[in-house]
């Protein structure tokens, strides 16, 4: 089972991923946890370049760098984990590229789609939780977040950018209603977690029946 979490920065994805990981572990299931970009040496190095505020990066270079990090991750970590039967929880995956580089940066969506299918090698999550909050709420959460620190290069993109990213997520969720579950992210952590495990249990039963 391959599950991804999506949403704008500060929406609460990592919090929910950790809660779901603990839920799986308490049931004795093996879980592989991945963050994007990251999880391999190369992908972590690319992450540093992408998030650093030291240099500017053009939208197309940004698209290709995120995609290079992803394809390394797919071959080195995701495919082997899927083969070993592990549950994979991914903090962001290819929908981030469609939302951020496609809708946010305004790159041609057909071109983004083509690069995405090369980068993923066709490996897609069966289930994606989109934790939906607006920019203002996410900003407020990040301000109070431990280790929040200075905003990275992506976080500096501003309100208009993040509004486009959110609209992008809403659009792509509607295009694939079987895979996407849109979660109202304004509620407390426990209520959101409850909805997430209900959906996961439902899918587990569907798979085993």
Question: Judged by CB under 6 A, does residue 43 bind ligand TYD?
Answer: no
How many CA atoms does the CB half-sphere of 82 hold within 13 Å?
Answer: 14
Question: Judged by CB under 6 A, does residue 188 bind ligand ADP?
Answer: yes
Nearest distance in Å: CB 192, ligand ADP: 6
Question: Judged by CB under 6 A, does residue 9 bind ligand ADP?
Answer: yes
Question: Judged by CB under 6 A, does residue 164 bind ligand TYD?
Answer: no
**Binding site partner of 154, from ligand TYD, ligand ADP, none, Cβ cut-off 5-8 A by kind:** ligand TYD
CA distance 137 to 100: 18
Identify which of residues 10 and 104 has a Cβ nearer to ligand ADP in the complex: 10
144: which DSSP letter? T
Question: Judged by CB under 6 A, does residue 21 bind ligand ADP?
Answer: no
The footprint of ligand TYD on this chain (CB under 6 A) covers a number of residues equal to 16
> What crossing angle do the helices spanning 109-120 and 59-73 adopt, rounded to 10°?
20
Among the listed residues 139, 129, 101, the one whose alpha carbon sits nearest the alpha carbon of residue 10: 139
**Binding site partner of 97, from ligand TYD, ligand ADP, none, Cβ cut-off 5-8 A by kind:** ligand TYD
Identify which of residues 141 and 203 has a Cβ nearer to ligand TYD in the complex: 141
| Candidate residues 2, 7, 32, 129; the one interacting with ligand ADP per rule CB under 6 A | 7
Question: What residues between 137 and 166 interact with ligand ADP by CB under 6 A?
Answer: 141-142, 144-145
Nearest distance in Å: CB 148, ligand TYD: 10
Do the beta carbons of residue 150 and residue 22 sit within 8 Å? no
Question: Judged by CB under 6 A, does residue 154 bind ligand TYD?
Answer: yes
Give Cα 188 to chain centroid, integer Å.
20
Residues 6+ apart with CB under 8 A from 184: 132, 192
Give Cα 103 to chain centroid, integer Å.
15
Site stretch for ligand TYD (CB under 6 A), options 6-14, 52-60, 79-87, 123-131 = 6-14
CA distance 84 to 75: 14
Question: What residues between 46 and 85 interact with ligand TYD by CB under 6 A?
Answer: 51, 66
Residues 6+ apart with CB under 8 A from 26: none
CA distance 176 to 207: 19
Applying CB under 6 A, the residues found at the interface with ligand TYD are 9, 13-14, 35-37, 51, 66, 91-92, 96-97, 100-101, 154-155
């Amino acid at each position: 089972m391959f599950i991804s979490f999506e949403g704008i920065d500060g929406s609460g994805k990592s919090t929910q991923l950790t809660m779901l990981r603990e839920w799986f572990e308490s049931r004795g299931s093996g879980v592989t946890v991945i963050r994007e970009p990251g999880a391999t040496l190369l992908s972590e190095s690319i992450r540093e370049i992408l998030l650093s505020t030291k240099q500017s990066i053009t939208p197309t270079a940004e698209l290709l760098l995120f995609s290079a990090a992803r394809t390394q991750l797919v071959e080195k970590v995701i495919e082997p984990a899927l083969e070993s039967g592990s549950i994979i929880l991914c903090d962001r995956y290819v929908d981030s590229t469609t939302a951020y580089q496609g809708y946010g940066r305004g790159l041609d969506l057909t071109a983004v789609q083509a690069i995405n299918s090369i980068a993923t090698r066709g490996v897609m999550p069966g289930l994606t939780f989109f934790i939906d909050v607006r920019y203002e709420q996410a900003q407020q959460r990040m301000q109070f977040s431990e280790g929040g620190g200075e905003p990275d290069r992506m976080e500096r993109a501003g309100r208009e950018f993040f509004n486009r990213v959110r609209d992008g997520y809403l659009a792509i969720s509607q295009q694939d209603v079987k895979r996407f579950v849109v979660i109202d992210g304004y509620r407390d952590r426990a209520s959101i977690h409850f909805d997430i495990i209900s959906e996961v249990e439902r899918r587990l039963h569907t798979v085993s029946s």
